[in-house]
Each structure stands twice: as structure tokens, then as C-alpha cells.
Amino acid sequence: MIQNNKSDKHMPSSDWRVAVTSRSFSNNQVLRKRLLKRFPNTTFNDEGKSLSGDELIRFLSGHDMAITALEYITEDVVANLPDLKVISKYGVGFDMIDLDALHRHDIYFGWKGGVNRRSVSELVIANAISMLRHVPAAHREVLSGTWRQHIGRQLTEKCVGIIGFGHIGKDLAKMLAPFKCEILAHDIVEFPEACAELNVKQTSLEDVLRRADVVSLHLPLDDSTRGMISAQCLSYMKHDAILINTCRGNVVDERALKEALKEGRLGGAAFDVFATEPPDDKELISLPNFLVSPHIGGSAIEAILMMGQSAIDGLEDAHEAIADNFL
């Protein structure tokens, strides 16, 4: 997706100065070679720094294009980068990018949704089975010297709720087919054809929460979804239900979640994302019915290559669009 309509003098791609803020992109030799072949004048984040604020501005300064990942691109950042013409997103979430600021400063935005969907879907399946079979709790007990059986449940024929039925939600529904699950979905957009094809019932948020044995979140973070899974929403869920979050941490009230887990009002939760990363609530992540991972939903080799190629494509599309404005 390319936004805005900025013209600048046409330069061959070899002259465009590109900055890559992402550490994982910078560390990937395949992506480096692909990018350098197209844009040889590229600066990588070889120091492996987590860039923000003034340090991010200094890194991007003097560059025409940028590939960014989890860095916050704010009004203050782009206002201090007069040379910047293009930002291409490495990854699918863009809640950390002020799109209005890009528009005001005539900066192209390259983005493609769903490029890491299979990587995230597989992590959801892994988390669902792990939590239903009490794997995290059993693992901790064995390490502490206790050897006892945990009686769990199969994923097969359970009711799974998917909140957010976009690229990842639909892919997850496909992966659940062999498990013969009843699948419920909630989204603000109606998807009658996809639901019919995937044998999914689209219903209300409350209905999903009340009926599902496993609830998986796949929402973008914006004003409408921030804090969406509140204490009240958690109270609708079955006492033995599992909540899985691989989208954005601020979608869930983490304090309310902790209390529900501690009091046995919720069976368990598996979170790959948090409001603050790394998470600062040590009590939450230490609970025996909580599984934590460090934002690895898209961190599969295959997904990294797909996300990286998508980001490179975003730069190429922008370069061609800018050139066309002159020709």
C-alpha cells in the first residue's frame, strides 16, 4: 500500500539512501543481499540498538527511505527528517506509526498485510495445545523436583473463538479444520463468503467470549480496540477457558487478567505481546497458568523473509511511483 503523492527529483535507485532500523532485518544475510542489490546505498542497524526518539532521528537523518519495524514514528520524528520520502513497514502492525504525520509531511508509506499470518497461526495452535494440556505448569513442576501427571484437554472438537477475522484470523480457521473445532468469529466487518468457506459462525463479541474454550485475539491496536478485553469481558469467559494474545498488549486489561487467573475465574492465558515490552508485571508472567513469549509471533525464518521482501517491495513501489510523477 502506497499513500500520498510526493514528488522529488528522479534519481536511480542506486542513489537513494536507505536506512534499516530493524535489528532482525539487519541481521538477516538473505534480506541484506536482496536489499543491497536493489538499493546499494543502505545503512543497517548493525549495532543492534533499540532506536527511539533523538537516537532514531539521528539514525534516519540524511536518508531518503527507511525500513522500520517496532520503532515509534511520531510527528516529532518525521518533522526532524526533511530528506525522508518513504517509510516501508517490516511487519504487519502499524500502530506505532503516526499515519497522519506521514500524510502531513508527504511521506509515502509501504505496507502489506498478512505476510506473517502462518507464523502467527502456528504459534496460536502451539499455545492452545500447551495451555489445554497444562504444559507450562507441568514443566515448572518437573524443574522444581515434582513429578506428577496433569490431566488436560484436547483441542479437537473444542469451541474456538477468533476475535479479529482478518488475514491471521482466517488463516487460523484454516489450520483448525483438522481439529474439527466449532469456530466462532467476531469482527466489525462481515465476512459471509469466508465464513461459509471455512465453516465459521460470525457472531457478537459477548457470544464468542461466553461460548469459546479457547479465545485468540487478532486485532489491530487503535482507539476502538485499546482495552477492549476488559474486566467485564473476561467475566463472560468460561472458568476453564484459555485466552491467547498474539496481536497487541494494550488490547487486554492485563491487571484484570492477572486477577482472573489468580482467582481461578479463567483457566489460563498465553501472551506473546504486552502493553510494556518486556513486561514489567513479574507476578503476572510468573503465574503457573500463564505462558509468556517475547513477541515471537512473526519470528519464524519463513515469515522474516516474507516480511522483509514485502518491505523491500514497498521501497521499490515507492521509487517507481516517485519516478512516474516526473516522467
Q: What is the pLDDT of residues 110-151, one digit of tens each?
A: 988 888 999 999 999 999 999 999 999 999 999 999 999 999
156/226 same-domain check: yes
- pLDDT at residue 263 tops 70: yes
> Which pLDDT value is given to residue 3?
43
Give the three-class secondary structure for 51: coil
How far, in Å, are 6, 150, 207 from residue 147 at the CA level? 65, 10, 39
The number of distinct structural domains making up the chain is 2
- By annotation, the residues acting in catalysis are 248, 277, 295
Q: Answer whether residue 1 is part of any domain.
A: no
Contact 321, 47 (CB under 8 A): no
51/88 same-domain check: yes
Mean pLDDT value of segment 61-79? 95
CATH code for the domain in which residue 142 is found: 3.40.50.720
- pLDDT at residue 2 tops 60: no
Mean pLDDT value of segment 305-324? 86
Q: Answer whether residue 203 is part of any domain.
A: yes
- pLDDT at residue 219 tops 80: yes
149/219 same-domain check: yes
**What is the rounded CA–CA span in Å between residue 273 and residue 258?**
15
49/165 same-domain check: no
122/83 same-domain check: no
77/213 same-domain check: no
Q: Answer whether residue 3 is part of any domain.
A: no
Contact 242, 271 (CB under 8 A): no
121/108 same-domain check: no
> Which pLDDT value is given to residue 11?
59
Q: Answer whether residue 5 is part of any domain.
A: no
Average pLDDT of the chain is 92
Distance of CA 307 to the CA centre of its chain: 12
> Which pLDDT value is given to residue 314?
92
Contact 64, 18 (CB under 8 A): yes
Most confident of 70-74, 180-184, 222-226: 180-184
Q: Answer whether residue 210 is part of any domain.
A: yes
168/249 same-domain check: yes
Q: Answer whether residue 127 is part of any domain.
A: yes
Q: What is the domain range of residue 102?
A: 13-115+301-324
Q: Answer whether residue 148 is part of any domain.
A: yes
Residues 196-212 have pLDDT tens digits of 999 999 999 999 999 99
176/149 same-domain check: yes
100/23 same-domain check: yes
46/137 same-domain check: no
Confidence of residue 5 (pLDDT cuts 50, 70, 90): very low
Q: Answer whether residue 164 is part of any domain.
A: yes
23/73 same-domain check: yes
* Lowest mean pLDDT across 24-38, 97-111, 249-263, 312-326: 312-326
Q: Is the entire prediction scored with pTM above 0.95?
A: no
